[in-house]
């Protein structure tokens, strides 16, 4: 699989990704997309024309029913390779960029979250308590080091945030208690608080925590129709803080959002403010109208 893209492009692609300050995950995503394109046409990725890319994107959209986000990633990989690796000047309008739909994330109650956490093993409970209790992404939680836990000020240092940004977030008493139990039981020796089983210098695989969370949630709530993932815990962190009266600016800082617009999505999920509102029709005496 993926034999049609020459190996030398991998090195050139990684060099350009590094120069632009993009993450290693972006490199992997772009490389995977480029290899799939080359594999589909059975030719060198450098020889794929705009017209061929149009037909490929149309197939992804119409036949394979790929999401707008997937189409845009594929488009971005092709543009980045041609412009930055091959040095070609492509028109930004040659391939259409698809408008993203942003459905509201599903939210679950605090009681359900605590119930699922209690059902997990000690290691996964410690990791996921940071995802919910501090609003961390799973990648951020797995990047935490022992010295990042500040029990004096009850905060956690997020050193490997999205876009290589660093920040502080709050630390819950629940998380601190579980983390102390975890540390006493496992005594991690490497740089990371949650290392891989056979390599102390590498952080744990996120898929293990994802599978554990999904397994326990499905077992406890087999009739659940919502799409619940580990990232749901981060959404719940923000929404539950908003429900408790914390302002959006503070939540933005804790989540590490670059723009307040990203944080404003949680105003659509909170229920407390809606329950306190009175319709202008009722204020105008609409409740006294005859039936």
Among residues 162, 167, 196, 214, which one is catalytic?
Answer: 162
Longest dimension (CA), the chain: 78
CA nearest 144: which of 254, 155, 153, 212?
155
Would you call 234 a catalytic residue per the annotation?
yes
pLDDT at 8: 78
Q: Backbone dihedral region of 106: left (phi > 0), alpha (psi from -120 to 50 degrees) or beta?
A: beta
pLDDT attached to residue 216 = 96
Between CA 240 and CA 271 the distance in angstroms is 9
Cα–Cα distance, 74 to 77 (Å, whole number): 5
Q: Which one of 1.10.3470, 1.10.10, 1.10.150, 2.30.29 gives the CATH number of domain 7-85?
A: 1.10.150
pLDDT for 1: 52
| Of 31, 35, 137, 235, catalytic | 137
Q: Which fold has domain 110-274?
A: hpI Integrase; Chain A (1.10.443)
Say which of 226, 231, 258, 273 is annotated catalytic.
231
Q: Which is the catalytic residue, given 36, 123, 125, 257? A: 257
Alpha helices in the chain (DSSP H): 7-19, 24-41, 50-62, 68-80, 110-119, 122-133, 138-142, 173-186, 206-220, 230-243, 248-255, 260-263, 272-276, 280-283
pLDDT (tens, 9 = 90+) of the chain, 291 residues, equals: 556 666 679 999 999 999 998 888 899 999 999 999 999 999 999 999 999 999 999 999 999 999 899 999 999 999 999 999 999 999 989 998 988 777 788 999 999 999 999 999 999 999 999 999 999 999 999 999 989 999 999 999 998 788 778 999 999 999 999 999 999 999 998 889 999 988 888 899 999 999 999 999 999 999 988 889 999 999 999 999 999 889 999 999 999 998 898 888 888 877 766 667 777 767 665 555 555
Q: Domain residues of the chain, as ranges?
A: 7-85, 110-274
SS3 167: strand
The answer to whether the 7-85 and 110-274 domains have the same CATH topology is no
Q: Which of 35, 123, 124, 234 is catalytic?
A: 234
The confidence score (pLDDT) of residue 163 equals 75
Q: Report the distance separating Cα 98 and Cα 66, nearest Å.
A: 11
- In the residue annotation, 231 being an active-site residue is answered as yes
Phi and psi, residue 58, nearest 5°: -65, -40
Q: How far apart are the C-alpha atoms of 136 and 153, rounded to whole Å?
A: 18
Predicted pLDDT of residue 286: 54
């Amino acid at each position: 699989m993926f034999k049609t893209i020459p190996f030398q492009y991998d090195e050139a692609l990684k060099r350009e990704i590094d120069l632009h300050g993009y993450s290693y995950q972006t490199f992997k995503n772009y490389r995977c997309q480029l290899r799939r394109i080359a594999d589909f046409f059975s030719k060198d990725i450098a020889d794929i024309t705009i017209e061929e890319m149009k037909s490929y994107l149309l197939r992804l959209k119409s036949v394979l029913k790929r999401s707008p986000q997937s189409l845009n990633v594929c488009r971005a990989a092709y543009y980045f390779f041609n412009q930055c690796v091959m040095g070609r000047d492509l028109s930004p309008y040659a391939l259409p960029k698809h408008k993203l739909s942003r459905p509201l994330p599903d939210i679950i109650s605090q009681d359900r979250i605590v119930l699922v956490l209690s059902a997990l093993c000690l290691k996964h409970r410690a990791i996921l308590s940071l995802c919910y209790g501090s609003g961390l992404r799973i990648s951020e939680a797995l990047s935490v080091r022992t010295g990042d836990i500040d029990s004096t000020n009850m905060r956690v240092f997020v050193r490997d945030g999205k876009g290589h940004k660093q920040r502080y977030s709050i630390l819950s008493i629940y998380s601190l208690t579980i983390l102390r139990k975890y540390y006493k039981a496992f005594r991690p020796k490497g740089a990371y608080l949650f290392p891989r089983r056979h390599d102390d210098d590498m952080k744990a695989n996120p898929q293990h925590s994802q599978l554990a969370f999904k397994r326990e949630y499905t077992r406890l709530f087999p009739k659940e129709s919502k799409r619940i993932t580990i990232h749901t815990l981060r959404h719940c962190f923000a929404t539950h803080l908003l429900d408790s009266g914390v302002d959006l600016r503070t939540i933005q800082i804790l989540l590490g959002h670059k723009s307040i617009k990203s944080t404003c999505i949680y105003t659509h999920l909170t229920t407390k403010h809606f329950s306190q509102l009175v319709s202008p029709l009722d204020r105008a005496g609409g409740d006294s109208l005859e039936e």
